[in-house]
Structure 1
């Protein structure tokens, strides 16, 4: 099983028939949400609808259909799977699974949309792909989670059976993408900074690694890792995107203070964390207060960083703890953003 969008693109680029399997509707406790999807061919799988026996049985059914007679396969169908009695999974709910045999046009359109996302991946909220149903004439398109239609989808409103919505008079299949990336700036490319970069590599973050010391910036850049050498790292704070997370891990306490002060003076960042002890925190709070910062600004600082109860000081242990903390913060913020948007749209 593969989860990267690059693997989805690879499957869509092949010559084998492709069945798109999606979570069309849910009831009770289920492993994935409406819109989760996977691609299945006779020899490849990309994506997931929750794993376990549900995914195993779905894959067997698709491959059985592909081996029998692709030409006579229905273009689309919906099947209900009870998770408890039917599949022996402990979730206890039920899932309606949509099976869509993709036309050549659907495959090309979906591949183009996913390639565009890979080329420009940064987004601070979830996104949806709308795919025409049954080879219709509609255009496959990307929809941001801050739009009304996507808000309705995520909230469970306005979605017809089968995860299909009527948009501008066309029936569109709604697919949820989970590769929305949260921008993260790490100040300090020492042992801990590099360990955090490595821990974040498979996670949904777009990382900027900043250091004044060019010799320490020896990690290879990638689509999700951007290397920035700056003689004045604290000045880079003004360029950080709204909603981004900031980690302060430099080799110099005075530099830590300058970056920290610049970051918490902004009220639009998602998380500002600094490595250090309770003693360091107390000293910084006192100095920040002496510089005229109030309780609201100072409360934006998290120090020490990491999950409580994890006390190991090895860089890889700190990195694992911080990664878990930032994932928790990210999911809470995305849930809050969705709730706020839903309320403002009058949905619910």
Structure 2
């Protein structure tokens, strides 16, 4: 989220002041947690800190800040259900609102956006969010196998803040024209090492056409194991793949196979939903 958000912030700041609203702490049940952010300008907003009346109050406070000479303020949103509360979730949210404006803030937003887009972490200074916060670039989703399931996973993953790379040894299948916005490559499996050479965390999903391709893929990935390695296949296929790589036994302990949350998925799109649900779970746990 932060990668696209700060790119948007830099674009908006070229035209007008913008308030960055950051959830800094929560207690109890809340729609969003610490680190959630949104942008508020005079006539537009982007992203969300929870929606409903709570977000309406954040937006109103932000626009009041835009109309003043103030630089920022703290805001508490009560969701306890009592008189004057913004909801009945039962918890509360602490937010910092910071008005970004002028050449110095534009330069800062551009620097942060550039660092994140290059795959590097970036520091958000304390004066912009109440305390120093480290922003992380989008995780890289490495999809190995560009067939029906790989294509379905790509289509849905585009909505979920992934830096998508797609590999297939078959050049005719790994067609960049079919995967707009993704890095697409093919050829020898040794080329997979390029996808691991990054400051981003990497989540790898193997959707290969046969177990020989799985073995070749894992033989490369296990030298520098990604945060998540998932593989599609039957129990028998998974067992045979693992048995073929005894020298990678330690790295393969993290292999999630069959990949995806069990929802009785059958179609490529359903399989993609189950995989992305698991990846979201891993992201939140991290």
Q: TM-score, normalised by structure 2?
A: 0.81
Aligned partner of 1:300 among 254, 261, 275: 254
1:323 paired residue number: 276
- Residue from 183, 188, 208 that aligns with 1:226: 183
Deviation for aligned residue 1:279: 2.1
Q: CA deviation at 1:9?
A: 2.8
Secondary structure of the equivalent of 2:125?
A: strand
Deviations 1:12-54 (A, max 9, x none): 2223x43333335544444334454332222011233232211
Cα 1:263–1:21 change in 2 (3 A) is: closer
Structure 2 Cα separation of the partners of residues 268 and 294 of structure 1:
10
> Could you tell me how far apart the structure 2 residues matched to 1:83 and 1:76 are?
22
Candidates 130, 144, 148, aligned match of 1:164: 130
Structure-1 separation of matches of 2:214 and 2:166:
15
RMSD: 3.1
Q: What is the aligned partner in structure 1 of residue 196 from structure 2?
A: 241
Q: Greater shift after overlay, 181-190 or 312-321?
A: 181-190
Task: Write out aligned runs for 1:125-274 (5 A).
Answer: 128-130=123-125, 132=127, 163-165=129-131, 174=132, 177=135, 180-220=137-177, 225-230=182-187, 232-233=188-189, 235-241=190-196, 243-264=201-222, 266=223, 268-274=225-231
Preserved contact between residue 116 and residue 137 of structure 2 (Cα < 8 Å): no
CA distance in 1 between partners of 2:186 and 2:86 (Å): 54
Change (3 A) 1:13 1:200: same
Contact 2:238 2:257 in 1 (8 A): yes
TM-fit CA distance, 1:200: 1.3
Q: SS where residue 58 of structure 1 aligns?
A: helix
- In structure 1, distance between residues paired with 2:24 and 2:255: 41
Instruction: Map Cα deviations across residues 193-226 of structure 1 (whole Å, 9 max, x no partner).
Output: 1111112112232222111222212244655x21
The DSSP-based 3-state class of the residue aligned with 2:103 is helix
Q: Aligned in 2, Cα 1:306/1:119: closer, same or farther, shift over 3 Å?
A: closer
Counterpart Cα distance in 2 of 1:96 and 1:302 = 37
CA distance in 2, matches of 1:186, 1:319: 11
* TM superposition shift of 1:116: 0.9
Alignment deviations for residues 87-128 of structure 1 (CA, whole Å, 9 cap, x no partner): 3423323333333333313541343134314642x25xx754
Quick one: distance in 2 between partners of 1:282 and 1:33?
A: 39
Report the CA distance between 1:229 and its aligned residue: 1.8
Q: Structure 2: where are the runs of 5+ without partners?
A: none
Q: Equivalent residue for 1:96? A: 94
Find the aligned partners of 2:133 and 2:13 in 1 and give their Cα distance. 15
Matched, 1:314 2:271: no
Note the residue ranges of structure 1 that are not aligned, 5 or more in a row. Answer: 134-162, 166-173, 335-348
What's the secondary structure of 1:305's corresponding residue? coil
Note if contact 2:196-2:202 (Cα within 8 Å) is conserved in structure 1: yes
Instruction: Tell me, yes or no, if the aligned pair for 2:141 and 2:162 is still in contact at 8 Å.
Output: yes
1:230-278 per-residue CA deviation (whole Å, 9 max, x = no partner) reads 1x22x124444275222222223322222234434x3632222221111
- Cα distance in 1 between the residues matched to 2:70 and 2:38: 18
Number of equivalences: 278
Cα distance in structure 2, aligned partners of 1:273 and 1:131:
38
Measured in 2, the distance between the counterparts of 1:107 and 1:202 equals 28
Of structures 1 and 2, the larger Rg is shown by: 1
